[in-house]
């Protein structure tokens, strides 16, 4: 079937399924027609950033599967698993209206963890998973990797589409795919921002009006560090400290601001050019833990 007719078919309807068997049956039918498959994993509460990833997937594959699953194993004690916004009907309408898909996989917890989360097989990610965001969210990236590996096993896609906002997650999942020799290509999508520069995120809804007004200061601080690097400032520790102080003055509780090597998030080494570096940060603003980076 020609790609144009496939896309026209996808525009007319999307099929929601809840079991691994149903997804595999769909994908098997597409494979029989020599069609490529992209998957976009999400936790739902879709915003324009998610929808842009779906549109990217549509451009690079014949068929697109979006998954919606709020994964309990990536939330730590006291985090917002119970309160995380679950908006399935609105999500379905957004996809049908703005970014049609060929299948919407919405499993329940038992479908993903048939023996329960306490007895589930888990992946242990490398040391990078315990740095940056992982330093304050122990086990988070192990949980992310465990659920993404399951979703890839269920869907069996050619392409995994991920956003650049969760940059550490992107790098770690790329590492997972190479390390486990999974036959999947990772395609990153750019970070979508509000007009004032705030990265789109489901957790932005935790911000009250005053916090929302101040929230763009996180990205602005990271960009100022990136600009200083491009001007030749090589005192990384001072630049990170200045950004932390700037965020504190703006009312944030900073978790970290760090300069890393973009390709693998290793600490910078002598000889790394500013173009090879990325600035990452995370900070609390009220009930919202915001993360961002200087990647486009």
- Dump pLDDT digits (tens) for 228-260: 999 999 999 999 999 999 999 999 999 999 999
Q: Is 236 a catalytic residue?
A: no
Domains of the chain: 3-189 (3.40.50.620), 202-293 (3.30.1300.10)
Distances (CA, A) of 109 to 24, 61, 113: 18, 28, 6
Q: Are 153 and 67 in contact, with CB atoms under 8 Å apart? A: no
Q: Write down the catalytic residue from 34, 50, 140, 219.
A: 50
Whether 54 shows a pLDDT value over 70: the answer reads: yes
- Dump pLDDT digits (tens) for 26-49: 999 999 999 999 999 999 999 999
- The CA distance from 241 to 221, in Å, is 11
The model carries a pTM of 0.93
Q: What's the pLDDT at 292? A: 98
Distances (CA, A) of 240 to 14, 119, 222, 290: 46, 41, 9, 17
CB-count exposure of residue 73 (10 Å: 0-12, 13-18, 19+): buried
- Dump pLDDT digits (tens) for 20-29: 999 999 999 9
Q: What's the pLDDT at 15? A: 84
More confident residue, 111 or 10: 111
170 pLDDT tier (thresholds 50, 70, 90): very high
**β-strand 37-42 against 159-163: which pairing, if any?**
parallel
Q: What's the pLDDT at 72? A: 97
Beta bridge partners of 159: 38, 185
């Amino acid at each position: 079937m020609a790609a144009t007719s496939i896309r026209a078919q996808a525009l007319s309807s999307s099929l929601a399924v809840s079991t691994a068997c149903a997804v595999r049956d769909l994908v098997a039918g597409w494979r029989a027609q020599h069609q490529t498959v992209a998957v976009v994993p999400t936790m739902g509460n879709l915003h324009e950033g998610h929808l842009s990833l779906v549109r990217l997937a549509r451009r690079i594959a014949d068929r697109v599967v979006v998954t919606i699953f709020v994964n309990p194993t990536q939330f730590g004690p006291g985090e917002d698993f119970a309160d995380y916004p679950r908006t399935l009907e609105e999500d379905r309408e957004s996809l049908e209206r703005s970014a049609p898909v060929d299948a919407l996989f919405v499993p329940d917890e038992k479908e993903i963890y048939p023996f329960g989360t306490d007895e589930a097989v888990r992946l242990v990610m490398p040391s990078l998973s315990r740095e940056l965001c992982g330093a304050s969210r122990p086990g988070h990236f192990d949980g992310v990797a465990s659920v993404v590996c399951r979703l890839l096993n269920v869907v069996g896609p050619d392409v995994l589409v991920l956003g650049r906002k969760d940059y550490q997650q992107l790098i770690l999942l790329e590492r997972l795919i190479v390390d486990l020799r999974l036959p999947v290509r990772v395609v990153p999508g750019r970070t979508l921002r509000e007009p004032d520069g705030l990265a789109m995120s489901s957790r932005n809804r935790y911000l009250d009006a005053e916090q929302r007004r101040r929230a763009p200061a996180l990205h602005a601080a990271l960009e100022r560090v990136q600009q200083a690097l491009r001007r030749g400032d090589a005192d990384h520790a001072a630049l990170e400290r200045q950004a932390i102080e700037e965020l504190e003055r703006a009312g944030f509780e900073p978790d970290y601001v760090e300069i890393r090597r973009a390709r693998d998030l290793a600490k910078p080494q002598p000889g790394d050019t500013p173009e090879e570096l990325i600035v990452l940060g995370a900070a609390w603003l009220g009930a919202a833990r915001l993360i961002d980076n200087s990647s486009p």
